[in-house]
């Protein structure tokens, strides 16, 4: 049995939980190795203290679930089956009485919750999220290798985007070119909607790319990532087109310094809070503190936003095997928007930076 399932079963024992049914695509993948978005159909992994786990999925996915390497029973439900009946039957085959039932409270909707209440009458429902977040927090060598490869595709994507910059092209033109080149390399999914923002649009941290045309003197911000073997990358680079003015250049170099210094400080033992403050202090001392309105970074793995959260209030101690982003930014409306984002893996003594696209200010002619 894989260590993830064993660790999760151990938690069920400690908490005296009789059954768990995990239904989010990310956590089903984490526990079972089967990656699937079932849309409105029911997908889940049932795990018990001692009894064998099972995977419940739409019957049209049974073949793929087997191929994913899942070694235990697979219950396929056709579109005319009642999947809840199947779930109840197969859980009750394994455990006599359910006092405590673990599920993802953030993921199970009211309709599903009512199904569970009716079928496991009197059970106490326990949130499994925190435990699963803790398990996913530390990445092993195999995960690191996959994340490194996902980051390499992100580097490649930024290079494609930079090469496409030309007067008159729109943000969406550039996005189309980036995603076309990635698809040719076998990447079918981005980790979030690709962002290419130019000029005034780059000053919005979560802007919406559209038909704005690139013009000389603009900063162009790329924020993108790919999904590779179920794991995400997330990179941001900002480049200038044709020329920069003094304030754009000044802002760029402050963000660069904040990013480089924060990355340099990463090692086991430092806290998330200390890392955020290194970058935040550099930006504040330069007079732009009010224009850095978000946390320094977020964990990265199967999800594009997971633990740890790198904020200036999080006392969490950084440990070997954590993977997160470092992404300070300064956004001054109508003047400049600059963000620089890398993905990092914490090593025994320091850090490996997974993304490697150059960070010095580039002026694209």
Chain contacts with Mn ion (rule: CB under 5 A):
223, 234, 236, 325, 341
* CA-closest candidate to residue 171, choices 135, 136, 102, 222: 222
- Give least dist CB 341 to Mn ion, A: 5
- Name the residue nearer to Mn ion (CB basis): 42 or 151: 151
- 33 alpha carbon, distance to own chain's centre: 17
Give the total residue count for the chain. Answer: 365
* Residue number with CB closer to Mn ion (18 or 223): 223
In the numeric block, the tokens 């013009």 are attached to: 215
Smallest separation, CB 234 to Mn ion (Å): 4
- How many CA atoms within 13 Å lie on the side-chain side of 142? 3
Phi-psi region of 40 (alpha: psi -120 to 50; beta: other; left: phi over 0): alpha
Closer residue to Mn ion, CB minimum distance, 5 or 353 = 353
List CB contacts of 204: < 8 A, sequence separation 6 or more: 197, 331, 337
Nearer to Mn ion, 198 or 325 (CB): 325
Cα distances (Å, whole numbers) of residue 125 to 21, 98, 115, 130, 312? 11, 10, 13, 14, 33
Bridge partners of residue 44, in order along the sequence: 56
Residue 354 Cβ vs Mn ion, minimum distance, rounded to whole Å: 13
Strands (E), 72-122: 73-77, 100-103
Query: Which helix or strand (DSSP H or E) is residue 338 part of?
Result: strand 336-339
Shortest separation between residue 324's beta carbon and Mn ion, angstroms? 9
Minimum CB separation from Mn ion for residue 62, in Å? 36
Q: Is 229 helix (H, G, I), strand (E, B) or coil?
A: coil
Which stretches within the chain are classed as H helix?
A: 3-15, 25-32, 62-67, 83-94, 110-119, 129-137, 141-164, 171-184, 246-264, 272-285
| Nearer of residues 17 and 158 to Mn ion, judged by Cβ | 158
Find the shortest distance in angstroms from Cβ 236 to Mn ion.
5
Which is nearer to Mn ion, 43 or 323 (by Cβ)? Answer: 323
Identity of the residue, 273 or 295, whose beta carbon is nearer to Mn ion in the bound complex? 295
Least Å distance between CB 147 and Mn ion? 14
């Amino acid at each position: 049995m894989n260590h993830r399932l064993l660790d999760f079963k151990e938690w069920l024992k400690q908490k005296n939980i009789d059954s768990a049914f995990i239904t989010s695509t990310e956590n089903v993948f984490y526990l079972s190795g089967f990656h699937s978005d079932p849309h409105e159909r029911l997908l889940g992994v049932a795990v018990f203290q001692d009894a064998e786990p099972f995977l419940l999925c739409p019957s049209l996915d049974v073949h793929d679930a087997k191929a994913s390497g899942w070694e235990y029973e697979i219950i396929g439900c056709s579109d005319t089956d009642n999947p809840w009946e199947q779930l109840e039957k197969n859980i009750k085959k394994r455990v006599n009485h359910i006092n405590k039932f673990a599920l993802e409270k953030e993921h199970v909707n009211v309709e599903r919750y009512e199904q569970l209440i009716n079928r496991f009458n009197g059970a106490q429902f326990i949130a499994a999220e925190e435990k699963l977040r803790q398990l996913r927090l530390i990445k092993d060598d195999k995960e690191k290798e996959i994340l490194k490869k996902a980051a390499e595709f992100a580097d490649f994507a930024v290079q494609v985007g930079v090469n496409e910059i030309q007067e008159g092209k729109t943000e969406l033109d550039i996005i189309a070119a980036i995603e076309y080149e990635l698809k040719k390399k076998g990447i079918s999914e981005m980790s979030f909607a690709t962002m290419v923002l130019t000029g005034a649009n780059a000053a919005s941290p979560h802007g919406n790319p559209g038909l704005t045309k690139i013009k000389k003197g603009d900063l162009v911000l790329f924020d993108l990532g790919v999904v590779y073997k179920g794991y995400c990358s997330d990179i941001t680079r900002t480049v200038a087109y044709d020329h920069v003015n003094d304030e754009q250049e000044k802002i760029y170099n402050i963000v660069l310094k904040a990013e480089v210094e924060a990355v340099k400080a990463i090692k086991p033992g430092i806290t998330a809070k200390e890392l955020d403050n290194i970058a935040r202090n550099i930006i504040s001392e330069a007079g732009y503190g009010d224009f850095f309105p978000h946390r320094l970074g977020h964990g990265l793995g199967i999800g594009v936003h997971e633990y740890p959260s790198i904020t200036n209030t999080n006392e969490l101690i950084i440990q070997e095997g954590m993977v997160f982003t470092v992404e300070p930014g300064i956004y001054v409306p109508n003047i400049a928007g600059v963000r620089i984002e890398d993905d990092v893996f914490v090593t025994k003594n320091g850090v490996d930076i997974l993304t490697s696209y150059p960070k010095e200010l580039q002026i694209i002619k």
